[in-house]
Amino acid sequence: MLSTLPRLIGHRGAKESAPENTLASIREAAHQGARWVEVDVMLTRDHRPVLIHDDTLDRTTTGTGAVPLLDLAELQALDAGTWFDPRFVGEPVPTLEQAVALIGELGLGLNLEIKPYPGQEEITGEVALATLRPLWPAGRPLLLSSFEVPCLEVAQRLWPEIPRGYLLWEPPADWAAIADRVGAATLNVDQSRQTAESVAAYRATGRPVLTYTVNDAARARELFGWGVAAVFTDAPGRLAAELGAELAGEAPQGPDPR
């Protein structure tokens, strides 16, 4: 189970202030005071796990085309920082190993989102976990998550003791049965779809509810008021400053006791 869960989790590092899913973004999240970061992991052509969000290279690197068309060496020659700001020129696409080493140095918890290129659900889960497992110190907070049920099934099979978060965008009718089947510890849901009722329904399953992506303090306040345990934010420092003492206290871990 999840023993600790902060109220704010840096989304793709600190995406508002640094190029997402880079080492600079992870450093920035820690600098802003985040205790956990969320990053996305996908495979290269030679099946090496790297941090990137999109299926294609175009938006966040100097490359073009699908991520799994390049080997790691080719991908590492790309620039993943300049698109965001010239200050980040030369910032590479990090490997999962590099990211984990930095996260360890910075003392952060991690939510690793397994983000397979379509059709590579199982192999992405298998490689990401095989890479992460020997590097991850026992006791450091870790949550594995995915929108893709086969990735969660791989995590359940290969590393069952690590909590799994079931990511939902448009929830399927049988989301609750799937959450039970994959042994989901948390429900990680799109904030824009949430109401007091929807959050109550998720919490009624006994799981903490995490919502992505919240960059507005008033919305965070509303979600926390409905019993949301934690929010993914591109701006962990700004939100922490704006919410201040309201962030004190434990994140609710189970159903609403009222």
For Mg ion, the closer of residues 28 and 40 by Cβ is: 40
- Say how far apart CA 128 and CA 139 lie, in whole Å: 19
Residue 47 among the catalytic residues: no
**Binding at 145: pick from Mg ion, ligand G3P, none (beta carbon under 5-8 Å per type):** ligand G3P
Size of the site for ligand G3P (CB under 6 A): 10
Cβ neighbourhood burial of 245 (10 Å; 0-12, 13-18, 19+): exposed
Q: Which of 2, 23, 154, 167 binds ligand G3P (CB under 6 A)?
A: 167
Q: Is 234 among the residues that bind Mg ion (CB under 5 A)? A: no
**Cβ atoms 42, 117 nearer than 8 A:** yes
For ligand G3P, the closer of residues 210 and 240 by Cβ is: 210
For ligand G3P, the closer of residues 28 and 38 by Cβ is: 38
Q: Is 16 among the residues that bind ligand G3P (CB under 6 A)? A: no
C-alpha distances (whole Å) from 236 to each of 8, 12, 183, 208 are 6, 11, 29, 20
Nearest approach in angstroms of CB 188 to ligand G3P is: 5
**Binding at 215: pick from Mg ion, ligand G3P, none (beta carbon under 5-8 Å per type):** none
- Say how far apart CA 180 and CA 168 lie, in whole Å: 14
Question: Which one from 53, 219, 221, 238 is the annotated catalytic residue?
Answer: 53
**Binding at 186: pick from ligand G3P, Mg ion, none (beta carbon under 5-8 Å per type):** none
Nearest approach in angstroms of CB 152 to ligand G3P is: 13
Listing DSSP states for 99-146 in one string gives: HHHHHHHHT-EEEEEE-PPTT-HHHHHHHHHHHHGGGSPTTS-EEEEE
Q: Is 91 among the residues that bind Mg ion (CB under 5 A)? A: no
User: Facing residues of 1 across strands?
Assistant: none
- Give the tokens for residue 163: 């909590």
**Binding at 91: pick from Mg ion, ligand G3P, none (beta carbon under 5-8 Å per type):** none
Closest CA to 25 of 113, 111, 93, 117: 93
Q: Is 28 among the residues that bind ligand G3P (CB under 6 A)? A: no
- Say how far apart CA 199 and CA 197 lie, in whole Å: 5
Binding site for ligand G3P (CB under 6 A): 11, 38, 40, 53, 113, 145, 167, 188, 212, 232
Residues labelled catalytic? 11, 53
